[in-house]
Amino acid sequence: MELIHTLYEPAGKGPHPTILTLHGRGASAFDLLSLAPYLCGGRFLIICPQGPLETPIGPEATGYAWYPMSMGGPPDIGSMLVSRQRLQQFLDNCLAHYAIDAKKLAILGFSQGGVMAYSLALANPDRFAALAALSSWLPPELVPHLSLGSSAQALPTLVQHGTQDSMIEVDRARQSVETLRQARVPLTYREYEMGHEIRPRSLSDLSAWLDEKVPAPIVLANETDGT
């Protein structure tokens, strides 16, 4: 496959409910994989692709990104759309190679990965059962490249943000929420007393929300018919 990625696969042959999980700027394909056991009891197949752009994160360290930083200018929408196309092709390949239940496919993104999650899910809302954007925002310049019609109005969406986030201010999340509400996207919005991060409470809320919104039933391997 074109994008390097990591994978968490639950027990059983599948097909499995699945989350396409997109990391933030400066991280890697391993960054969010550790969430897998804590999301719905480890029952989801978790796929974590790595951003295609190398980006320095220190004197001798390199991370990865989905698009270049704007450095105070307008967002690089062209690069976002190129990465979106690569993610679309990556997802197609994953559906062909892994035991994914295509009717129970969610997408989750943190920070810059959240921008990409917005971009991919709201351009193709019929492909996803749920969208979660954590510590992120929806750039207004990206909105004309989305499909905010009737299909988006059936896509459950969760937005979580920290009130003390110094990297992406909470006002940007609130503006994004207003855009989604105007488009009638079914939305759950939660703020937490935290910075640019995921904490136990927000993780617990995320897990419960996914368990509720991704199409049921998700049957545990040790469940019986009650006999």
For 130-184, the pLDDT digits (tens) are: 999 999 999 999 999 999 988 999 999 999 999 999 999 999 999 999 999 999 9
Provide Rg for the chain, Cα atoms: 17
Per-residue pLDDT reduced to its tens digit, 111-122:
999 999 999 999
pLDDT at 60: 80
Residue 89 has pLDDT above 90, yes or no: yes
d(CA 211, CA 216): 8
* E strands, the chain, in order: 5-8, 16-22, 45-49, 53-58, 61-65, 100-110, 130-134, 157-162, 187-192
What's the farthest any 2 CA atoms get from each other in the chain?
63
For residues 48 and 30, the answer to whether their CB atoms sit within 8 Å is yes
* Cβ atoms 210, 106 nearer than 8 A: yes
Neighbours of 166 (CB within 10 A): 8
The pTM score is: 0.92
Question: Which residues, 6 or more positions from 104, have their beta carbon under 8 angstroms from its beta carbon?
Answer: 16, 17, 18, 129, 214, 215, 218
C-alpha distance from residue 136 to each of 25, 102, 119, 197 (Å): 11, 25, 12, 10
pLDDT in tens, 11-68: 988 899 999 999 999 999 999 999 999 999 999 999 999 999 999 887 888 999 999 9
Alpha helices by DSSP H, listed for the chain, are 77-97, 112-123, 170-182, 200-213
Nearest to 116 by CA among 162, 54, 49: 49
d(CA 69, CA 16): 35
